[in-house]
Chain A
Amino acid sequence: MSTPHVTGAASAAEEEAAEGRIYDVAGEDWDKIVSAGDEDRSENEKIVVNMGPQHPSTHGVLRLILTLEGETVSDVRASIGYLHTGIEKNMEYRTWTQGTTFVTRADYLMPFYNELAYVLSVERLLGIEDKIPERAQLIRVLLLEINRISSHLGGIGPFGMELGATTIFLQGTRFRERILDLYELITGLRMNHAFIRPGGVVQDMPPGGLEAIRGFLREAPRLVHDLRGLVDANPIFRARTRGIAYLDLEGCMALGVTGPMLRAAGLPWDLRKSQPYLGYETFDFNVPTETTCDTYGRYMVRMNEIEESLKIIEQCVDRLADRASITDDPWMINDAKIGWPARLSLGPDGMGPSPEHIAHIMGQSMEGLIHHFKLVTEGFRVPAGQAYVPIESPKGELGCHVVSDGGTRPYRAHLRDPSFHHMQAVSMLCEGGLLADVIPAIASIDPVIGGVDR
């Protein structure tokens, strides 16, 4: 049979009549396809290729439908939704506090940012924004900046592997593993933390936490140096990324692009500087920018942001160390109607409410028991209204639109995820370029499908 392999019978024939010849690459038929290609090759032939939803270099279950003219991409359509888990719908059926356990799972490479965007919106609805203890704010900033580093590494490391450089991936993973160890020490978990809660954070820094972070800060510059030495001036990496996926300031503005992509186009727009939250205005750091508007510039912005984040972490650790002498320094709001009643402690059987608290509610105070029960099962009420608090996540503007009807559950919670927004730019980044440049273009957006689909 010299004609290419044709699937089905009648339906396939109809489809071919409508769409042109369809090749079904099913394995062991490569010779047939090649010979068929020799027969009817024409100048203007367009090929539609489906990439994904399981392609390893598309950052999760993303599907791209590419129209190719030879090796040039003439049309790209992104198809998403393969990882939709109904996080926003589920939140409407849980208390305000339980909402953090859902949002943390959206973009799983930046869990603390999802939590913070949600929690800041809830705190604005509650009107307690200025009553959050200083210590809680410092622990939040500390975790956020550590998370910024790990999120950027989660973008850069696998990007290296997508270009065929396993070492970049391994170096990035080794670096990121040190950060996951810190997460585990501070929150008990490597991901899905639900650590930032309305009113503060769940727990204080553990004993030895600040020393562990100082140890990391001593080690991190060398890890950054190693990674940069491997990538920054690498001729193959530069050839694959410079001038690729060009999107200038005008394009960024038209598409509402924020984050490293915007800063790689030369605009130093960073919500930590322009609309500060959590007291970022008191920290000393710079907003790195590049003017190349390409994949390489976005990589450089991310790498420079890692170094700036290390500066912020150091300032945070110093401030927390200065506060060590304060005897009563809470990490949860001093409001019995909102703050979680139990303080957690580590017992012989794992993490749980502290023995003092259990003794208090079980042995001494009936009212304490009722209060604990009401707050834990029913939750607190949030005054009716709506709020949207944007924060600068590693990927761009992340916001949470929260609506309350005055009840104990969110009436509506919506994450404005930067990955979702920026995936719209894929067509603009890829069309007219080569097929091989689609991979760096997507990696330069750094999308995480958990956040895109929610």
Chain B
Amino acid sequence: MSDSEPPAEQNGGLPAKLGAERLEAPVVREGLFGVHGTPDTSGYGRLKVRKPLPVSTPRPYGGYFDAVADALGSALEADGSSFDDAVERVVVDRGELTFYTRRENLVQVMERLLHDPALRFEIFSGVSGVHYPDEPGRELSAVYHLASITHNRRLRLEVRAPDADPHIPSVTGVYPAANWHERETWDFFGIVFDGHPALTRIEMPDDWLGHPQRKDYPLGGIPVEYRGTKVPPPDERRSYS
């Protein structure tokens, strides 16, 4: 249901993307049921699921979304920047508006979103990290949800950073409530929020190693550490054989 693919009937019954274009998309999954290394004779083993290329929604976005984009554009121009500089692409999906923002412009965009009378996104609804190891160069994602009480609107900002340089500017200067949310995202994903007043772990113990919600971090199998003692994970604790 991505917006870059028009319905088949508009295209003479053919899929919107043909041959080479479809094969350019990165492979995200091979085979069925997650089975690897087995002599699969069913034919499903050669199935390859390709991830669609990043979509970008053309104007008009519908609803109040155009008004938000226009207001942000004029606010940024008054600030010496522009909408296209700050926002990589705009996605409207399932009735939700997402601005994929460049990290250099994040604080400026947030500042305008909060203070511009035509925008006024007062309520900061948190940061949610996502780790996409299959998207080289843009693995780490910070997703911000904002709400405007004045205009009764909602908006999502997404910022990407590469694993090699996991830095995103902190928005605590604009929204003080981002403080704990950024600490949580640092704790779980290892995204460094530059300019945060005290970027320390919040949910995990202070001396924990690794960032547990990353996709390369396993579920379970981690020794329990508490004040210098180490208890092996439950599946390794004792053997009755």
Q: Which residues of A contact B (CB under 8 A)?
A: 80-81, 84, 86, 88-90, 92-93, 124-125, 127, 253-256, 258, 267, 269, 274-275, 378, 383-388, 390, 397, 399, 401, 403, 405-407, 411-412, 414, 416, 420-421, 423-424, 453-454
Contact = CB atoms under 8 A, between A and B. Distances in A.
B197 to A, nearest CB: 12
Contacts of B145: 388, 390, 399, 401, 416
Given A84-B204, A254-B176, A421-B180, A401 B94 contact: no
Contacts of B94: 124-125, 127, 385, 387
Interface in B174-200: 175-177, 179-181, 184, 188
Interface stretch (B40-48, B73-81, B82-90, B122-130): B122-130
Given A89-B213, A397-B123, A405 B28 contact: yes
Interface in B125-183: 125-126, 128-131, 143, 145, 147, 149, 152, 154, 156, 175-177, 179-181
Contact of B219 (A93, A254, A403): A93
21 contacts: A81-B201, A84-B204, A124-B94, A124-B95, A253-B123, A254-B176, A255-B177, A256-B123, A256-B177, A274-B152, A384-B51, A386-B98, A388-B156, A390-B125, A399-B145, A401-B126, A403-B130, A405-B28, A412-B128, A416-B128, A420-B184
B175 A256 contact: yes
B205 interface: yes
B22 to A, nearest CB: 15
Contacts of B122: 253, 256
Interface string B91-105: 001111010000000
Contacts of A424: 176-177, 179-180
A89 B219 contact: yes
B218 to A, nearest CB: 10
Interface residues of B, number: 44
A258 B123 contact: yes
A453 B205 CA distance: 12
Contacts of A383: 1
A406 B204 CA distance: 30
A86 B187 CA distance: 12
B179 A80 contact: no
A84 B1 contact: no
Contacts of A125: 94
A81 B176 contact: no
A269 B147 CA distance: 12
B227 to A, nearest CB: 14
Interface of B: 1, 28-29, 33, 49, 51-52, 93-96, 98, 122-126, 128-131, 143, 145, 147, 149, 152, 154, 156, 175-177, 179-181, 184, 188, 201-205, 212-213, 219
Contacts of A127: 1, 94
B177 A84 contact: no
B203 A84 contact: yes
A295 B131 CA distance: 40
A380 to B, nearest CB: 15
Contacts of A454: 203
Q: Is the interface of A mostly helix, strand, loop or mixed?
A: mixed
Nearest to A400: B128
A411 B122 CA distance: 29
B147 A390 contact: yes
Contacts of B125: 256, 388, 390, 397, 399, 416, 421
A89 B212 contact: yes
A448 B148 CA distance: 26
Contact of A453 (B1, B130, B147, B203): B203
B212 A86 contact: yes
A424 B176 CA distance: 9
A68 to B, nearest CB: 21
Contacts of A423: 180
Contacts of A453: 203
B180 A378 contact: no
B96 A388 contact: yes
B3 to A, nearest CB: 11
A296 to B, nearest CB: 24
B180 A267 contact: no
A454 B126 CA distance: 15
A89 B33 CA distance: 21
Nearest to A254: B176
Given A390-B125, A424-B180, A80 B203 contact: yes
